[in-house]
């Protein structure tokens, strides 16, 4: 039985049953060229793997709905909620730098949009729901392994304060699905304000169907950027907002050590959300050239490449918008990207160091620390968390920190610079630590943690999935008794390789 997370008074006034969800379905009102209408493929004998009450609240669904005997039927696609209008969205995209003229939702089906009582609309999309007209050679299914990874990581990113799609639930089935090996099927339900992506515009640009670009841009602006509606330069301002959101997202990824793994333009959200989780990874030993995707043999999407790839992808979007935005205008916007990224990114790194004032040389201080971390192969997440305990007293040698570094003399020199910087703004250690603990997470979704949850789930034990979900909702909190989840993978554990099939 799923325990309800909301008081009965709130449930009765503000929550809906599955039959009462308020579907809106504005994307379904667009012309048929934007999507293909179809029902999901039935999933044999579905069962609930995990349910996320926090995400359910976004669509006014009470947590006890997950206890319904037919809940898995609804969120496997076997039964459609009243008011839904299932469809697969059309898009194209640049994959590893090469344009693919038609992609689209090959295994995901948008049930529709739910408008909650706050006036927000949330796409409800089931991923792994069967073949669509865009499946190409795919089977239209997702596997339990990849569904658990996306489910946990989307909520982990939300817990970190990084824009992301959300995950409502996972439904599994024992039906076999073949990837590198035989696995079992699963369907993940994800929520987002929109699933429109850069590639949604590219497909019509390369087809020279420019009127559809305007239709889609007008739709996105009216729904998600209403403050631009009616302005003479609304398309320029729209592109400017996407540039800013993308630059901010890249800075946030870098600040927490997150690597996406497949930054194709069809995986880039027009709203600046972290989108389409596949072979992602949180960096453990600091290595700017970290590659989380085993399929990325050239390192196109390595960790340190992500900011530049963000700009490359924005350039592809700007190209697709040339019927609406003149090239000289889009070029000027793209030229601002680096400044936006570095300004915001430096501010984030300054916060990670507990600095409350901006000064010249702050970025050099950060880079010097990162260089030492790389030389000593230190854990990115844990080192920044430990740095909160830095003692700025003149006679302190900070053994706990210093002894993590191979070159202790280099650390001592850096610590002297850091101490001077802290004293220059009259920093108080206890207050600084409190600030730092709010921006330097103790817990991230390390690959070995996800793999442990997956291995247990494959034996029909879903307790670790739920435990990680709870843990990652509060990544900055200490959470007594859970300290082992902050540790890197054991040295004897084989390296987990994640590929695009994930």
H or E stretch including 35? strand 35-37
For tokens 């972290």, what's the residue? 274
For residue 266, indicate whether it is catalytic: yes
Q: What is the pLDDT of residue 496?
A: 73
Q: What is the pLDDT of residue 7?
A: 40
Q: What is the pLDDT of residue 102?
A: 86
Asked whether the whole model's pTM tops 0.85, one would answer: yes
Q: Print the SS3 string covering 241-291.
A: HHHHHHHHHHHHHHHHCEECCCCCHHHCECCCCECCCCCCEECCECCCCCC
Select which of 266, 276, 296, 379 is catalytic.
Answer: 266
221 CB neighbour count, 10 Å cutoff: 20
Contact predicate 142/151, CB 8 Å: no
Cα–Cα dist 146/500, whole Å: 10
- Bridge partners (DSSP) of residue 269 are 197
Cα–Cα dist 127/141, whole Å: 8
- DSSP annotation of 496: P
Contact predicate 346/250, CB 8 Å: no
Contacts of 219 (CB under 8 A, 6+ apart): 26, 27, 30
Contact predicate 144/165, CB 8 Å: no
360 CB neighbour count, 10 Å cutoff: 6
Q: What is the pLDDT of residue 331?
A: 98
For tokens 């005997």, what's the residue? 69
Q: What is the pLDDT of residue 499?
A: 66
Q: What are the pLDDT tens digits along the chain (502 aa)?
A: 333 443 443 344 567 899 899 999 999 999 999 999 999 999 999 999 999 999 999 999 999 999 999 999 999 999 999 999 999 999 999 999 999 998 999 999 999 999 999 999 999 999 999 999 999 988 999 999 999 999 999 999 999 999 999 999 999 999 999 998 999 999 999 999 999 999 999 999 999 999 999 999 999 999 999 999 999 999 999 999 999 999 999 999 999 999 999 999 999 999 999 999 999 999 999 999 999 999 999 999 999 999 999 999 999 999 999 999 999 999 999 999 999 999 999 999 999 999 999 999 999 999 999 999 999 999 999 999 999 999 999 999 999 999 999 999 999 999 999 999 999 999 999 999 999 999 999 999 999 999 999 999 999 999 999 999 999 999 999 999 999 999 998 877 777 767 665 4
Nearest to 26 by CA among 201, 195, 176: 195
Distances (CA, A) of 402 to 121, 339, 369, 411, 486: 50, 34, 12, 6, 20
């Amino acid at each position: 039985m799923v325990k309800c997370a909301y008081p009965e008074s709130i449930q009765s006034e503000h929550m809906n049953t599955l039959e009462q969800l308020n579907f809106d379905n504005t994307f379904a009102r667009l012309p048929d060229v934007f999507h293909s209408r179809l029902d999901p493929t039935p999933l044999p004998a579905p069962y609930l793997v995990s349910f996320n009450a926090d995400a359910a609240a976004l669509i006014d669904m009470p947590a006890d709905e997950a206890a319904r005997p037919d809940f898995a039927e609804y969120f496997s696609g076997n039964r459609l909620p009243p008011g839904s209008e299932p469809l697969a969205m059309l898009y194209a995209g640049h994959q590893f730098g090469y344009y693919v003229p038609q992609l689209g939702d090959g295994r995901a089906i948008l049930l529709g949009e739910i408008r909650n009582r706050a006036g927000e609309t949330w796409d409800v999309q089931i991923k792994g729901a069967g073949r669509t007209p865009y499946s190409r050679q795919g089977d239209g299914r997702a596997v339990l392994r990849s569904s658990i990874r996306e489910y946990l990581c989307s909520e982990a990113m939300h817990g970190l304060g990084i824009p992301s799609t959300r995950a409502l639930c996972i439904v599994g089935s024992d039906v076999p699905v073949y990837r590198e090996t035989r696995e079992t099927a699963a369907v993940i339900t994800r929520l987002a304000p929109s699933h429109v992506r850069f590639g949604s515009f590219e497909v019509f640009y390369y087809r020279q169907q420019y009127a559809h670009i305007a239709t889609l841009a007008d739709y996105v602006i009216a729904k998600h950027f209403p403050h631009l509606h009616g302005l003479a330069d609304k398309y320029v301002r729209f592109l400017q907002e996407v540039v800013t959101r993308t630059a901010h997202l890249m800075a946030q990824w870098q600040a927490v050590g997150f690597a996406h793994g497949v930054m194709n333009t069809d995986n880039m959200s027009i709203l600046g959300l972290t989108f389409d989780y596949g072979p992602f990874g949180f960096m453990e030993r600091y290595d700017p050239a970290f590659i989380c995707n085993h399929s990325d043999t050239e390192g196109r999407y390595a960790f340190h490449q992500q900011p530049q790839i963000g700009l490359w992808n924005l350039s592809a979007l700007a190209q697709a918008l040339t019927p609406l935005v003149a090239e000289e205008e889009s070029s000027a916007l793209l030229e601002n990207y680096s400044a936006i990224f570095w300004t915001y990114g430096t501010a984030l790194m300054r916060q990670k160091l507990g600095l409350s004032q901006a000064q010249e040389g702050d970025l050099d201080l950060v880079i010097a620390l990162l260089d030492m971390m790389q030389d000593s192969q230190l854990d990115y997440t844990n080192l920044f968390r430990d740095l909160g305990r830095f003692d700025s007293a003149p006679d302190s040698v900070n053994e706990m920190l210093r002894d993590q570094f191979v070159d202790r003399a280099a650390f001592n020199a850096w610590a002297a610079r850091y101490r001077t910087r802290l004293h220059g703004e009259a920093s108080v250690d206890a207050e600084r630590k409190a600030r730092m603990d709010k921006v330097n997470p103790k817990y991230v979704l390390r690959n070995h943690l996800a793999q442990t949850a997956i291995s247990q789930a494959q034996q029909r034990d879903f307790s670790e999935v739920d435990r990680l979900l709870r843990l990652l909702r509060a990544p900055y909190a200490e959470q007594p008794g859970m300290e082992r989840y902050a540790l890197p993978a054991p040295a004897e554990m084989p390296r987990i390789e994640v590929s695009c099939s994930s």
